[in-house]
Amino acid sequence: MPDKLGIFSIKELISEIKLVGIKPIYVLIGSDAYLQSFFINQIKNNFNGKEVQKQLYSFNEDEGDHILNEITGISLFPDPKIFILRDINKIKKSHLSDLITWSKILNPNNIVIMIKNQFDLKHYSIKELKKNFQLIDTRTPFPNKIRDWVNYILRIKNIQLSKEVIEILIENCGDSIANIDNEIEKIIISDFIDNDISSSITDSGMKDYPIYKLLDAIGRKDIKLAFKVYNNLWLNNISLPQLIFNISNFYQEILWALINQKNNDFALNYFLKKNMSIYKNKYNFEEIKNVISDIRSMDFKSKTLPISDKALMIPFLIKICDSTHESI
């Protein structure tokens, strides 16, 4: 069943496909590249081992007439094709109408998957598509849905892991389903036992820190870990604006926690949500207000002054972890 916005989950659609087969057109709405690829691969797997061609087009770069001719034309070769259409907000009304007409003609070999990264249900193309086809949610899942996704991926891959290993997966990779799937693939290939799995996941996480590890470190006021993680992020070319965005959201969430209010606007991952009580006990209300002010100051200076990322971030980390909040 669709949600209150009329959007279907990937898991619902995959279950439906197993029961009633593949439909000619699907519409993905949301920018999570992993979920988009995951759904496309699940469609491909339903052709029972046949060779399936994937053809990618963009209504922003390719001629609409050419795209429609490729989809609706009669091919000399019977191999199934998946047409992946991006930038569908640029599709002309006439091409959209032709595509809807084509979808009513049974053609088991050609499947069209239309993708709109922006989650905008008010655009005319989405409104029209929603009348005729199922819209599938490919936004990055909220933190409280990560565990469901881990269990779902494990079930699809037909492998079992202990609860302890699943927790380690979530804690080390919980901000990205793609990272979790990658670690699961390593487990399958290596055939680890549980202890080896735990060590492997932890070691892997230590080589390439996710941003939330920096948030956890500054939330705990652990200056040594904060420096270690930030240096790793800097070496991996994680930009200062990206860090500022995540740090700002993190401290806004702590502020809400301090005033005993829930707020889902900042979408922190499961690991950070779980440890929020630790973070809020490290700060008082005035400290958080000053930290948020410092974040804005750092953001302004990064855009207006010829100063390096490190020259801004290192003093900021020291001030946070030393509980000192004068202007940077």
Q: How sure is the predictor about 273, in pLDDT bands with cuts at 50, 70 and 90?
A: confident
Which among 113, 137, 161 is the end of a domain?
137
- Mean pLDDT (whole number) for 278-302: 91
* Residues spanned by the domain of 151: 143-207
pLDDT given for residue 94 in this prediction: 93
Number of domains in the chain: 3
- Average confidence score pLDDT of the chain: 83
- pTM score, two decimals? 0.61
Same domain, 11 and 133: yes
Distance CA 169, CA 44 (A): 27
3-class state of residue 113 by DSSP: strand
pLDDT given for residue 77 in this prediction: 65
Same domain, 22 and 129: yes
Q: How sure is the predictor about 217, in pLDDT bands with cuts at 50, 70 and 90?
A: very high
Higher per-residue confidence, 48 vs 280: 280
Within-domain flag for 1: no
Element (H, E) at 81: strand 81-86
Same domain, 237 and 290: yes
Element (H, E) at 36: helix 33-45
Q: How sure is the predictor about 326, in pLDDT bands with cuts at 50, 70 and 90?
A: very low
pLDDT given for residue 131 in this prediction: 92
Within-domain flag for 55: yes
Q: How sure is the predictor about 76, in pLDDT bands with cuts at 50, 70 and 90?
A: low
pLDDT given for residue 100 in this prediction: 92
Tokens for 99? 């595509």
Same domain, 217 and 312: yes
Distance CA 73, CA 98 (A): 12
pLDDT given for residue 34 in this prediction: 86
> In this structure, what CATH number is given to the domain that contains residue 100?
3.40.50.300
Within-domain flag for 219: yes
3-class state of residue 292 by DSSP: helix
Contacts of 40 (CB under 8 A, 6+ apart): 54, 82, 84, 113
* The most confident of 82-86, 139-143, 175-179, by mean pLDDT: 82-86
Same domain, 186 and 238: no
